[in-house]
Amino acid sequence: MLIYCAETRIAQIIEFQRGLRMKVLVIIPAYNEAENIPSVIDDLKANFGIADVLVVDDCSKDNTAEIVDSLNVRCVSQVFNMGYAAALQTGFKYAMKHGYDYAVQFDGDGQHIASEANKLFQYAIQNNSDVVLGSRFIEDTGYKNSLFRSIGSTFFSKLIKLICKKDIYDPTSGLQVLSRKCFSLYANMNGYPEYPDANLIIELIRSGASIAELPAKMKLRISGTSMHGGILKPIKYVFLMLYSIFIVLLRGKAFKK
């Protein structure tokens, strides 16, 4: 028993040291997140210290960029407001250019938790995963989704199951760890979708990517409004997502294992 415990501990130390050697970038798209971004960055520094942090300021009307600069964190500012997806792709291009091994999608509104992102990253390097999704719905994490978002998430989860024969419980999760092979594909993708959720998951699964999903605790937005708030935005999301999935099914495999 003592030998087994020692061997397990040694294996854990080796994996931890491997994680330290990996270059990992946390990408935070931010639009008018001046109230939330300080606590988000403090959490990452305290609980995911091995990762570099990049904030992509999507031409905020408040002083988000100035606050990020004052916290000594890299900030790239878009020349005009281009939306969440374009900010993400800017981060992927940065990660590819600067030689990162993994990229982590992380929201700037305070919903994501740094220790949970670190957990997903450790799983990714231990299992050589292309994508690790942080799921609010594999088990009860206490997260309460709105009615419209719950319906949409359930619908696209079942659609993924129908198309790919794989269970993905939280296809709208923005907390994701991506390998270089995967985020390089996103960085170079023409027409990167406005909503990069179930559509890209389907494309990756059909192309042979290894996708894992782990339970992840998340919090409700600290302040501000969600990009999926209201009634019309969720309806727009559903129609655009269905159209994007249709395009994915028409084109060939883009991801080579």
Specify whether the CB–CB gap between 138 and 170 falls below 8 A: yes
Position 257 scores a pLDDT of 46
Query: Is 139 a domain residue?
Result: yes
- Report mean pLDDT in 10-residue bins for the chain, 257 residues: 55 52 95 96 97 97 96 95 96 97 97 97 96 91 74 92 95 96 93 92 92 93 56 84 92 60
Domains in the chain, number? 1
Does 190 reside within a domain? yes
Residue 171 domain-assigned (yes or no)? yes
Q: Residue 178: which domain range? A: 2-250
175 in any annotated domain: yes
Show the tokens assigned to 59: 């031409």
The DSSP symbol for 82 reads -
- Residue 129 domain flag: yes
User: Model's pTM, two decimal places?
Assistant: 0.86
Q: How far is CA 215 from CA 91, 98, 151, 175, 240, in A?
A: 25, 30, 19, 11, 27
| pLDDT of res. 163 | 95
In one-letter notation, the amino acid at residue 18 is R
Q: Are strands 131-135 and 74-77 parallel, antiparallel or unpaired?
A: unpaired
Taking each helix axis from N to C terminus, what angle separates 84-97 and 180-188, rounded to the nearest 10 degrees? 120
pLDDT at res. 66: 96
**Residue pair 213/138 in contact by the 8 Å Cβ criterion:** yes
Domain containing 53 — which CATH number?
3.90.550.10
Is 256 part of any domain?
A: no
Residue 255 lies in a domain: no
